[in-house]
């Protein structure tokens, strides 16, 4: 990973990509936080906890791409790649996936002040 | 002469890792650890919950109790303009989204327990009933019909369905005059149907017909195929066949017929209403938003043939749709 980071920060394009990945990390982290807060608020207001899965979030965002991706992967790559692998991940809470990805990217590609 | 021998742990200054890279690696490892913990937390929680749940026992499948009813007499009124599709194709090339969106679901569908199987007839009827599927099948006038089947994916087959006219089921149900539609539900059992574990989809599968469509002579409740009881991958123990409509209208493994005043919103309408509508009548001149419907690939052959209006069943159904302006009749 350090080799990748060294190669990324060695050039202007690389530094831009590194910054971009860091930004993606922050967006992921904030998105995960928003969904976590939404789950907690809903639980408080309704008295019952309802998880928002990554699959549900994708469905709500753009069901057509979700359905298309499933068909493409199951029919043209391998059925098991979608189910149980990808579908299994999509059953995880969206806050967990986005939060985990966000933390990794933010820590791995931190913003650094210029010299 | 003084010869210096380096001890194993002695390194030159140039070999030392720069401090900022040392600290970067520690930050990266910490990031992987924290990120991985957040990712893994729900799985660990689910695993602990699963350990506390008792295992479910599955019973061995009994032999189909209706096997002795087949083969049934063929109704010569319904003929084909092509050869019957070889049995291996309709029984191994299937769409059954409850088990996946690939074409090899025939193996996965074997997990579906089809006995005992209850069918509920309710809603706007004189008296709601729940009836055992075998009792229902035995009280109906069974016959074999040769139908063309056209999928919205632009493939087709010609099959010998066995079953009974849907109008016989409507007669049994005795719907009230206020009933305008029949809403059909497929089973809901995520324990055996992996597609239903994807609970972001609006399971169970729902489809609907108008009362006029349901009582049209072509509407057929299928209980058998190729002179034998229906196989699981084909929608056992009973499914719908509406040969003038795209195949997704033909609900599989039905558990409920609900007579209603409001037009039901189907599974595919909910998912992609811009591509799949309520009516779904076959029309080669109305393309799917992503592909043409002008031709169809005939399963089991290398042929691609022109698609016919209403799949060639216009003489039976065209009058149902006369005067229906403003409706998306062919999606």
Predicted confidence (pLDDT) per residue in B190-221, tens digit? 999 999 999 999 999 999 999 999 999 999 99
Give the pLDDT band (50/70/90) at residue B12: confident
What does each C-alpha distance from B237 to B41, B69, B244 come to in angstroms? 41, 13, 22
Mean pLDDT of A6-10: 62
Beta strands in chain B (DSSP E): 118-123, 129-132, 143-150, 155-165, 181-186, 206-210, 220-225, 228-229, 239-241, 254-260, 295-298, 304-306
Predicted pLDDT of residue A111: 73
Give the number of other Cβ atoms within 10 Å of residue B289's Cβ.
Answer: 9
Give A94-97 contacts, CB < 8 A, sequence gap 24+.
A94/A31, A94/A32, A94/A35, A94/A52, A94/A53, A94/A54, A94/A56, A94/A57, A95/A32, A95/A33, A95/A35, A95/A36, A95/A39, A95/A52, A96/A32, A96/B38, A96/B39, A96/B41, A96/B42, A97/A32, A97/A54, A97/B39
- Select the residue from A32, A61, A91 to test the B interface by mutation, using most B Cβ atoms within 10 A: A91
Taking residues A49-71, report their average pLDDT.
94
Structure confidence at residue B60 (pLDDT)? 34
Q: Please write the tens of the pLDDT for every residue from B139-162.
A: 999 999 999 999 999 999 999 999
Instruction: Give the model's pLDDT for residue B47.
Output: 44
Task: Look at the block and give the residue holding tokens 């806050």.
Answer: A95
Beta bridge partners of B3: none
Residue B68 — pLDDT band, cuts 50, 70, 90? very high
Contact indicator for B101, A74 with CB cutoff of 8 Å: yes
Give chain B's mean pLDDT. 89
Q: Which of B6-20, B58-72, B172-186, B255-269 has the lowest mean pLDDT?
A: B6-20
Q: For residue B61, name the pLDDT band (cuts at 50, 70, 90).
A: very low
d(CA B84, CA A76): 28
- Quick: pLDDT tens for B244-256: 999 999 999 999 9
- DSSP-derived pairing of the beta strands B295-298 and B304-306: antiparallel
B45 touches chain A (CB under 8 A): no
Q: For residue A67, which residues of chain B lie inside 8 Å, CB to CB?
A: 101, 271-272
Ranking B21-35, B156-170, B251-265 by mean pLDDT, the lowest is B21-35
Smallest Cβ–Cβ distance between A100 and the set B25, B27, B39 belongs to B39
Task: Using an 8 Å CB-CB cutoff, list chain B residues near A5.
Answer: 24
Q: What is the mean pLDDT of residues B105-127?
A: 96
| Stretch B4-20: mean pLDDT | 69
Among chain B residues, the shortest Cα distance to A109 is held by: B28
**pLDDT tier for residue B55 given thresholds of 50, 70 and 90:** very low
Quick one: pLDDT at residue B3?
A: 73
Our separate counts of H helices and E strands in chain A read 6, 0
Six-digit token string for B308 = 């016919």
Give the confidence band of B266 by pLDDT, cuts at 50, 70, 90: very high
Looking at residue A16, what is its pLDDT? 87
Angle at A56 between CA A42 and CA B276, to 5 degrees: 130
Going by pLDDT thresholds of 50, 70 and 90, the confidence category of residue A11 is confident
Q: What is the band of B40 on the pLDDT scale with cuts at 50, 70, 90?
A: low
The pLDDT value recorded for residue B51 is 40
Contacts with B199 from chain A: Cβ below 8 Å: 53, 55-56, 91
Structure tokens at B142: 């069974």
The answer to whether residue A4 scores a pLDDT higher than 80 is no
Nearest CB to A104; choose among B32, B43, B195:
B32
């Amino acid at each position: 990973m350090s080799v990748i980071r060294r190669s990324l920060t060695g050039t202007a394009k690389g530094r831009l990509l590194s910054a971009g990945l860091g930004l993606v990390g922050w967006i992921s982290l904030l998105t995960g936080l928003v969904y976590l807060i939404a789950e907690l608020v809903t639980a408080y207001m309704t008295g019952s906890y309802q998880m928002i899965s990554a699959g549900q979030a994708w469905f709500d965002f753009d069901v057509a791409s979700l359905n298309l991706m499933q068909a493409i992967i199951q029919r043209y790559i391998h059925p098991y790649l979608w189910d149980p692998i990808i579908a299994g991940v999509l059953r995880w809470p969206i806050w967990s996936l986005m939060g985990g990805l966000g933390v990794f990217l933010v820590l791995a590609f931190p913003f650094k002040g210029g010299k | 002469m003084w010869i210096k021998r380096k001890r194993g742990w002695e390194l030159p200054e140039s070999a030392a890792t720069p401090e900022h890279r040392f600290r970067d690696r520690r930050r990266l490892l910490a990031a992987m650890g924290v990120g991985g913990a957040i990712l893994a937390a729900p799985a660990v929680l689910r695993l602990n919950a699963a350990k506390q749940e008792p295992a479910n026992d599955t019973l061995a499948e009994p032999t189909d109790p209706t096997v002795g009813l087949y083969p049934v007499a063929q109704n010569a009124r319904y003929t084909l303009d092509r050869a019957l599709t070889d049995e291996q194709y309709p029984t191994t090339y299937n769409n059954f989204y409850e088990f996946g969106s690939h074409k090899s679901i025939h193996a996965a569908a074997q997990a579906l327990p089809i006995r005992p199987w209850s069918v509920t007839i309710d809603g706007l009827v004189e008296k709601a009933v729940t009836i055992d599927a075998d009792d229902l099948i035995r009280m109906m006038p069974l016959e074999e019909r040769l139908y063309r089947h056209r999928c919205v994916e632009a493939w087709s087959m010609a099959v010998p369905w066995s079953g009974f006219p849907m109008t016989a089921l409507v007669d049994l149900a005795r719907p009230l005059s206020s009933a305008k539609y029949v809403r059909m539900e497929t089973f809901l059992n995520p324990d055996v149907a992996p597609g239903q574990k994807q609970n972001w989809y609006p399971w169970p599968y729902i489809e609907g017909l108008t009362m006029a469509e349901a009582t049209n002579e072509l509407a057929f409740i299928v209980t058998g195929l190729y002179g034998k009881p229906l196989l699981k991958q084909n929608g056992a123990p009973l499914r719908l066949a509406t040969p003038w409509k795209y195949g997704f209208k033909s609900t599989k493994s039905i558990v409920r017929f609900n007579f209603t005043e409001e037009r039901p919103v189907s599974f595919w309408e909910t998912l992609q209403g811009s591509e799949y509508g309520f009516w779904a009548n076959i029309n080669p001149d109305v393309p799917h938003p992503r592909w043409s419907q002008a031709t169809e690939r005939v399963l089991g052959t290398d042929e691609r043939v022109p698609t016919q209006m209403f799949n060639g069943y216009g003489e039976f159904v065209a009058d149902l749709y006369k005067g229906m302006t403003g409706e998306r009749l062919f999606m």
